[in-house]
Amino acid sequence: MIASLEITIDSLAAGGDGVGRTAEGRVVFVPFTAPGDRVRVRVEADRGRWLRATVEALLEPSPLRTDPLCEVFGACGGCAWQHLTYAAQLEAKRAILREALGRIGGLAVAEPIPFVASPTPYGTRSRARLLVAGGRVGWRRRRSHAVCPTRRCPILVPALDRALAELAAHPPRTEGEVELAAGEGGAVRVTPLPARDGAAPSLAIQVGTDRIEVSPGGFAQAHADLLTPLAQAVHEAAGTGELALELFAGAGTLTLGLARRFARLVALEGDARAARDLATNLRSAGLSHVEVLAGPVEQALEDAALAGLRPEVVVLDPPRSGLPPGVADTLVRRSPRRLVYLSCDPATLARDLGRFADAGWRLASLRGFDLFPQTPHVEALAVMERGDLAGGPGA
């Protein structure tokens, strides 16, 4: 194995590592580097066509570098890009998204990809899951399940940063995950997970003019400042009509706005607690024409009650793993005119969109949202339309 070598970092990989090449052309992945860095690295793993290495010395720093704000950056697994300027992060995310759709999905993407930046690169995260172990509180260590103790975290909104400091000073006696969540009016909830029903109150978040209650452990987008613009973009992409189908509806951050655009809306959610939150939020908003079905999406779609459902538009916000097996084929058979796909993983987004492209669908639009500054995570909103239709979203 090559012990040490000097390389120049050319780009950033989807996982966040810098990417360079040896003189022989082998790819080298190096964490905590920036495009333009000249580094001496030590090879830690040889995988044949590619190597994984760590920095021994920064020989020539890239102009895209900046100073991290976090004292445990590099040891903590929460962030990977605090050493990069924010402009460099955004450009890398555009490239990661474009590369995934082209390589995995076979989809040509118009350049540049529109990207909604975070209003600020720090202090944005309004929900987080921390680890409590051995009387210490923090995120998990990089490439480890062990806790990386910390008392402050600059990516959290100020109210949660203060809650973290208090939790670190007085950790709970039980060990495991703890959810920190911030809601409207400065409310903060600290909940050991898994949360029992009724063990902690729901927390309200604001999405446009709607108030959404979310139970402990329930999913909601973590960037409070971009949640409303994101929901508005989804609603505009969906358009209006008679019948829409929403998959992975959660507590309703997208559902309530969609319900006002369609005469009938069917919303599927696999988590029973989230489905109850969704039903509660719809009642509170006075929206009685939405059908909420709880259960795994792949099973609910095949339910006899939905066998004849032919929605005009399908809106989906799946987990990082993307669509379960068979769901894309089922949706193609239902033949909606438009698919509005909100994704938190470019690779599974590309895989799923490629299946629709193979069935004759076309990519009508693509847009990025930076919900997770200081990390390589990419949120994207893609709109697919049937190949026999003309016009973009809103047509």
Q: Give me the CATH number covering residue 21.
A: 2.40.50.140
Cβ pair 356, 341 in contact under 8 A: no
Q: How far is 44 from 356, CA to CA, in rounded Å?
A: 40
| Judgement on whether residues 358 and 227 belong to the same structural domain of the protein | yes
Q: Is residue 77 part of a domain?
A: no
The answer to whether the peptide bond before residue 114 is cis (omega within 30 degrees of 0) is no
**Domain total in the chain:** 3
* Residue 111, pLDDT score: 79
* Residue 390, pLDDT score: 52
Expressed as residue numbers, the domain containing 307 is 86-120+221-385
* Residue 173, pLDDT score: 82
Last residue of a domain, one of 199, 214, 229: 214
Q: How many CA atoms lie within 13 A of 98 on its CB side?
A: 15
| Judgement on whether residues 108 and 229 belong to the same structural domain of the protein | yes
CATH classification of the domain holding 273? 3.40.50.150
Written as one string, the DSSP assignment of 269-292 is: ES-HHHHHHHHHHHHHTT--SEEE
| Judgement on whether residues 151 and 266 belong to the same structural domain of the protein | no
| Judgement on whether residues 144 and 28 belong to the same structural domain of the protein | no
| Judgement on whether residues 48 and 139 belong to the same structural domain of the protein | no
Q: Is residue 301 part of a domain?
A: yes
* Residue 224, pLDDT score: 86
CA dist 62 → 23, 29, 92, 113, 122 (Å): 20, 16, 14, 24, 22
Catalytic residue among 76, 79, 148, 344: 344
| Judgement on whether residues 101 and 243 belong to the same structural domain of the protein | yes
Q: How far is 94 from 91, CA to CA, in rounded Å?
A: 5
Q: How far is 274 from 236, CA to CA, in rounded Å?
A: 24
Q: Is residue 42 part of a domain?
A: yes
Global confidence as pTM: 0.93
Q: Is residue 173 part of a domain?
A: yes
Q: Is residue 31 part of a domain?
A: yes
* Residue 395, pLDDT score: 36
* Residue 381, pLDDT score: 98
* Residue 146, pLDDT score: 93
Q: Is residue 72 part of a domain?
A: no
Q: Is residue 316 part of a domain?
A: yes
* DSSP secondary structure code for residue 304 in this structure: G
| Judgement on whether residues 150 and 269 belong to the same structural domain of the protein | no
Q: Tens-digit pLDDT profile for the chain (395 aa)? A: 568 899 999 999 999 999 999 999 999 999 999 999 999 999 999 988 999 999 999 999 999 999 999 999 999 999 999 999 999 999 999 999 999 999 999 998 987 899 999 999 999 999 999 999 999 999 999 989 899 999 999 999 999 999 999 999 998 888 899 999 999 888 999 999 988 877 678 899 999 999 999 999 888 889 989 999 999 999 999 999 999 999 999 999 999 999 999 999 999 999 999 999 999 999 999 999 999 999 898 888 888 778 788 999 999 999 999 999 999 999 999 889 999 999 999 999 999 999 999 999 999 999 999 999 999 999 999 999 998 865 444 33
Structure tokens belonging to residue 109? 């993407």
319 pairs with which residues across the strands? none
| Judgement on whether residues 250 and 343 belong to the same structural domain of the protein | yes
| Judgement on whether residues 24 and 161 belong to the same structural domain of the protein | no
Last residue of a domain, one of 214, 247, 278: 214
Last residue of a domain, one of 214, 249, 273: 214
| Judgement on whether residues 244 and 366 belong to the same structural domain of the protein | yes
Q: Is residue 195 part of a domain?
A: yes
* Residue 38, pLDDT score: 98
| Judgement on whether residues 192 and 253 belong to the same structural domain of the protein | no
* Residue 388, pLDDT score: 80
| Judgement on whether residues 323 and 365 belong to the same structural domain of the protein | yes
Q: Does the annotation count 153 as an active-site position?
A: no
Cβ pair 271, 346 in contact under 8 A: no
